[in-house]
Chain A
């Protein structure tokens, strides 16, 4: 089976890979996400922005099945996955890099990669696949290191490598460059672009508008749990209401 990195260069398709229909999540009386409709096309590099508490991470958690939606549905590749367990979604080709690095801190880099790789790669090819992904993230030299000893940036890259090991068709990145210095952020931006070019649809959340400007093809703005605006980065940046609620204070 081809790795995710050997697919042909992508084109944004007209076909939706992910569709959220009237998606909502209520915590008591608080509507963290309130009737969001969103369509992500195959091959797209799409960003969710919005002030803190706008519901971005909650939407990610509903897409991955960590939270059950209070209302609405999640469709992946045309199938309703709202009731699917989160490991079933991972098996279907949905993968996530969480906001706080989702890595196993007490295990080695290699063991972390083995956990991510084992369901998607034959045993004989596993070492080759792990080495390839660690090379891509520039962390191969840390293969036997315990993950808690890695820098924050290295842990973020390891988590992206783990997500890729699941051979995703849709990759969710929750603040992939959070806490990184300028060089690390630049490396991450290049990496995200490269993965997208190689065929992976990417939906990401970020607060750093320079980072968003560098890579996003399409941006959706969330505000108080609702979709506020959607368009290209230039359309969003020229939208006065968006500037007022978000970009102006950013």
Chain B
């Protein structure tokens, strides 16, 4: 494999890890809720994009529609179920697990085991005799853009500031007039919208079925665990490192060892830095300020 081949592979893995994990990371990092229905939110996004495209809506508008509709779906789920479980991590795990099963089985009943997919758009690029998918390069650009959007939302908007405050202390935020339940609902909606976006983006690259989200689940959880609670710093660093490990092992020994490498890195990180990369960075920053 050429150098460009490795870079392409790295960009592809990085984008996949970031996009698979970001919705989960936002919900876990800002709300402390482990959303076991994350994969099904991604699956729902893939179905919306596929069905909308088949109905004649242009692909990229269908993808945006996925993000919007899964975001609204997430808001409804939050208001009906998750909002009753704020601060009850284990209960929310059970509830989201139930939601995931209902969604997957519901899709199976409504649409059957699979639906007709849409082809990968934008064609390919030939460099040094090897072909590279332009769409997958675009996914890398979108993954970077998504991180940029998250940075802007959490650092430069009123919602982001309220969200960071609520994450640190719900009680203080409330006493300053912040409606923390609203902040949580919007955060869940944002996380769900990112999952919907990911489903939409990957719908043209994989077979769309009720188990579509399972392909993202392992990578998304490993990325969030290795990254730690800060959705921006954690996901970025984790995606960067895991993407490299995955690409390198993939290139040398193949896909199976690439995936195995992700799990080994996760085990090492949990053992050495239990708070993940973002915990490590925040600790270093605090030490730097104290010095």
User: Which residues does A use to contact B, with CB under 8 Å?
Assistant: 64, 66, 85-87, 90-91, 95-96, 98, 102-107, 111, 114-116, 118-120, 146, 148-149, 162, 166
Question: Which of A102, A111, A118 makes the CB contact (< 8 A) with B175?
Answer: A102
Min Cβ gap A130→B in Å is 13
Instruction: Tell me the residues in window 155-196 of chain B with beta carbons closer than 8 Å to chain A beta carbons.
Output: 158, 161-162, 164-165, 168-169, 171-180
Chain B residues in 8 Å Cβ range of A120: 177
Pair B289/A162 contact, Cβ less than 8 Å: no
How many B residues are at the interface, by size bracket?
20 to 34
Q: From the candidates A85, A103, A106, A148, name the one contacting B172 in the complex (CB within 8 A).
A: A103
B168's partner among A105, A119, A166 (CB-CB below 8 A) is: A105
Q: 8 Å CB contacts to A: which residues of B35-62?
A: none
Check B165 against A104 for contact (C-beta < 8 Å).
yes
Determine the chain A residues whose CB is within 8 A of the CB of B171 once the complex forms.
66, 102
Q: Which residues of B contact A115 (CB under 8 A)?
A: 161-162, 165, 173, 176, 178
Residue B161 contacts which of A86, A87, A111, A149 (CB distance < 8 angstroms)? A111
| Besides the known contacts A87-B176, A102-B172, 12 further A-B residue pairs in the complex with CB atoms under 8 A apart | A87-B175, A87-B177, A90-B174, A90-B177, A95-B175, A102-B171, A104-B172, A106-B168, A115-B162, A115-B173, A115-B178, A149-B290
Report Cα–Cα, A91/B180, bound state, in Å.
Answer: 13
Interface of B: prevailing SS? helix
B213 to chain A, nearest CB (A): 33
Q: Whole-angstrom distance between the alpha carbons of A86 and B177 in the complex?
A: 7
In the bound complex, what is the Cα–Cα distance between A1 and B180 (angstroms)? 26
Output the least CB separation between A160 and chain B (Å): 13
With a CB–CB cut-off of 8 A, which chain A residues contact B172? Answer: 98, 102-104
Give Cα distance in the complex from A66 to B175, angstroms. Answer: 9
Give the top 9 A-B pairs by smallest Cβ distance, nearest first: A90-B177, A102-B172, A86-B174, A115-B165, A104-B168, A87-B174, A119-B177, A116-B176, A91-B177
Look across to chain B and name the residue whose beta carbon is closest to the beta carbon of A148.
B286
* In contact, B169 and A87 (Cβ under 8 angstroms): no
Nearest Cβ distance between residue A183 and chain B, in whole angstroms?
25
A131 to B128, CA, bound (A): 60
* B195, chain A: closest CB distance, angstroms: 27
Whose C-beta in chain B lies nearest to the C-beta of A92?
B177
Contacts of B168 in A (CB 8 A): 104-107
Q: How far does the Cβ of B86 sit from chain A's closest Cβ, in whole Å? A: 14
Report B108 CB to chain A, min CB distance, Å. Answer: 41
In the assembled complex, the Cα of A102 lies from the Cα of B174 at a distance in Å of 11
Q: In the complex, what's the smallest C-beta–C-beta distance from B41 to chain A, in angstroms?
A: 29
Complex CA distance for A149 and B175, rounded to whole angstroms: 23
Pick from B161, B175, B179, B289: contact of A98, CB below 8 A: B175
In angstroms, Cα B178 to Cα A121, docked, is: 14
Query: CB distance A166 to B289 under 8 Å?
Result: no
When C-beta atoms are compared, the residue in chain B nearest to A172 turns out to be: B175
15 CB-based A-B contacts, threshold 8 Å: A66-B174, A85-B174, A90-B175, A98-B172, A102-B171, A102-B175, A103-B172, A104-B164, A104-B165, A104-B168, A105-B168, A107-B165, A118-B161, A119-B178, A120-B177
> Contact: B158 with A104, CB < 8 Å?
no
In the complex, the answer to whether B158 meets A118 with C-beta atoms within 8 Å is yes
Contacts of A90 in B (CB 8 A): 174-177
Closest Cβ–Cβ distance, residue B125 to chain A (whole Å): 44
Q: Which B residues are CB-close (under 8 A) to A87?
A: 174-180
B175 & A86 in contact (Cβ 8 Å cutoff): yes
Which partner residue on chain A sits nearest B179 by CB separation? A87
Chain B residues lying within 8 Å of A103, measured Cβ to Cβ, are 172
> Which residue from chain B places its CB closest to the CB of A105 in the assembled complex?
B168
Nearest CB of chain B from residue A39's CB, rounded to whole Å: 23
- A205 CB, nearest partner CB in chain B, Å: 15
Residues on A with C-beta less than 8 A from B180 are: 87
Contact, CB under 8 Å: A146 / B175: no
> Considering the chains assembled together, what is the distance between the CA atoms of A114 and B174 in angstroms?
14
Chain B residue numbers with a CB within 8 Å of A148 are 286
- Expressed in whole angstroms, the Cα–Cα distance for A162 and B177 within the complex equals 11
- Is B176 a contact partner of A166 (Cβ separation < 8 A)? yes
Residues of A within 8 A of B165 (CB): 104, 107, 115
Q: B185 to chain A: closest CB distance in Å?
A: 14
Contacts of A102 in B (CB 8 A): 169, 171-172, 175
CA distance A95 to B177 in the complex (A): 9
Please, how many angstroms separate the alpha-carbon atoms of A120 and B173 in the complex?
A: 14
Residues of chain B lying within 8 A (CB to CB) of residue A104: 164-165, 168-169, 172
Those of B127-171 within 8 Å (CB) of chain A: 158, 161-162, 164-165, 168-169, 171
In the complex, what residue of chain B is closest to A95 when comparing beta carbons?
A: B175
Docked pose: A86 CA to B172 CA in angstroms:
10
